[in-house]
Structure 1
Amino acid sequence: MARTRYGARTEAEIAAARATGSRLPDIWSTGVVALWESDPDAVAAVLPPPLKPSGRPLVRATVSTVSLPGYPLGAGSVAVAAEHDGVPGWYPLVMPMTHERALTGGREVFGEPKKLGEVTVERDGLTVRAVLARHGIAFVEVRGAVSGGLPVPEPAERTDFYFKFLPAVDGSGFDVDPVLVHCVRREKHRTLERVTGDVVLRESMYDPVADLPVRTLVGITLGEKTSDQRGRVVARVDPEALLPYVHQRYDDPQQILDGPPEGSV
């Protein structure tokens, strides 16, 4: 009888898969990073407790192409600056990926808010254009021109905050208490360039990052980097406190009925 591939794997096969995954070579990506100051009330409004706003209302959009062997990947993120228990970091609101394979590990293991989408990074001479799009809407577009090289930064660590949870089977609350994950990324660059340009945020009922307007553009860069990551659960989260933010994880057309934060323009 032929092997049934949906059947149970042996202990040796499971161990081999784990060992292979732990020996991944450096995987390099080429990406555009745009950083801006937004409306402080809008940034605070998207942070589930126990996350708190950082000292500056920063938003970061990352648009990258990843050189996976035989499996090129587009990967993006829109995140706001936050902190937890004195640890500064970033809280991603949406992470578009171009392949299903890139979604599952991040969503199920770390709680990353990954969704299928279109991710484009184009360079023509000095001209650069980077786009995050879903449902036919380019909700983030970074455009500009390379205006000079920058010193390659030293390897550094960055912390991202994720909430890992499972919606309840009966549609009310969660099956188990959600947890807060600190995911630490160690990043290493080999090139970095300054881009002079702008950031365009377009209205989308599914990805309403336009509610985080560009008040002051801090900067745009284009670079090549590699990174690894490790995560750990740091706290259990009050289910009732997290529940009002669960819609961030899903394509919820009812978001179009939500008004912008009071005082925003």
Structure 2
Amino acid sequence: MARVRYGARTEAEIATAREARSALPDIWSTGVVALWESDPDAVAAVLPPPLEPARRPLVRASISTVELPGYPLGAGSVAVAAVHDGHEGWYPLVMPMTHERALTGGREVFGEPKKLGEVTVERDGLVVRAALARHGIAFVEVRGAVGEQLPLPEPTAKLDFYFKFLPAVDGEGFDSDPVLIHCTRHEKVRRLERISGDVVLRESVYDPVADLPVRRLVDLTIGEKTSDQQGRAVERVSAKALLPYIHQRYDDPQQIHDGPPEGSVR
């Protein structure tokens, strides 16, 4: 009988896949990072407990193209500064990706709020335009001109916070208590340049980052970097406390409350 591809893989095949994953080479991306101070109350309002606001109401938008073998990937995020148990980091609200493959591991393993979208980084000489778009709306756009080359930072570790959960089968909350994830990224930079420009936030029902206005632009750069990431589950969190924030994850705010279709088999 010909091999059935949906059938179980052998132990040797599983081991080969595991070894290939552990030996991945550095994958470099070219990206624009914008950092701004926003409204403190707005930043605090988007943080589910037990996350707390950081000392400064910072918002960070990252817009990158990634040199993946075989096909290019656009990857972006909009995150706010946050603190958990004394650890300072970032809480991403939305992470547009241009390929489903990038969604699967991030959402299922780490709990990242990834969604399919359009990610653009364009450079023509000194002119740069970068944007995150979904549903035909470029809800974040960076425009500017490249200035001086900046000193390269030392390799550093950056912390992101995610909530990992699954909606309940019966449409009532979650299958189990959500888990707060600490994800540490070890980042290396090989090129970094200043951008003189601005950040435009456009109104979007699905991605309302315009509620986090640019009060003061802190930093705007374009660079090349590589990173890896390691996550760990740090604690179970209150399902009741997290439920009011679940619309951050879904385009349809009622999706988390949807029950099975009428007449379906339970």
Written as runs of structure 1 = structure 2, the 5 A alignment for 1:94-243 is: 94-243=94-243
The residue number in structure 2 matching 1:259 is none
Partner of 1:63: 63
Alpha-carbon shift at residue 71 of structure 1 (Å) = 1.5
Q: Which runs of 5+ in 2 are unaligned?
A: 255-266
Q: TM-score, normalised by structure 1?
A: 0.95
Q: Which residue of 1 aligns with 2:15?
A: 15
In structure 1, C-alpha distance between the alignment counterparts of 2:228 and 2:136, rounded to whole Å: 31
TM-score (norm 2): 0.94
Whether the 8 Å contact between 2:247 and 2:253 is mirrored in structure 1 is no
The alignment covers a number of residue pairs equal to 254
- Secondary structure of the corresponding residue to residue 2 of structure 2: coil
- Tell me how large the CA RMSD over aligned residues is: 0.8
Structure 2: distance between partners of 1:146 and 1:167: 44
Q: Which residue of 2 aligns with 1:40?
A: 40
Per the alignment, residue 258 of structure 1 pairs with none
Query: Runs of 4 or more off by more than 6 Å in structure 1?
Result: none
What residue identity is the alignment partner of 2:138?
Answer: A
User: Is 1:76 the counterpart of 2:97 in the alignment?
Assistant: no
Instruction: Verify the 8 A CA contact 1:205 1:253 in the aligned structure 2.
Output: no
Contact kept in structure 2, 1:117 and 1:133, CA below 8 Å: yes
AA matched with 2:127: T
Question: For structure 1, which segment, 157-166 or 8-17, has the greater mean C-alpha deviation from structure 2 after superposition?
Answer: 8-17
Query: Which digits, 9 at most, give the CA deviation of each residue in 1:155-201, with x for residues without a partner?
Result: 00000000000010111110011000000000000000000000000
Structure 2 residue aligned with 1:27: 27
Q: CA deviation at 1:252?
A: 2.5
Alignment match, 2:52: 52
> Retained in 1: the 8 A contact 2:49–2:242?
yes
- Which residue identity lines up with residue 148 of structure 1 in the other structure? E
Deviation at 1:253, TM superposition (A): 6.2
Q: Distance in 1 between matches of 2:229 and 2:251?
A: 27
Match of 1:6 in 2: 6
Residue 89 of structure 1 aligns to which amino acid in structure 2? G
Following TM superposition, by how much is the alpha carbon of 1:12 offset from its aligned partner in structure 2, in angstroms?
Answer: 1.4
Matched residue SS, 2:105: helix
Runs of 5+ consecutive residues of structure 1 not aligned to the other structure: 255-265
Query: Is the 1:205–1:252 contact (alpha carbons within 8 Å) kept by the matching residues of 2?
Result: no
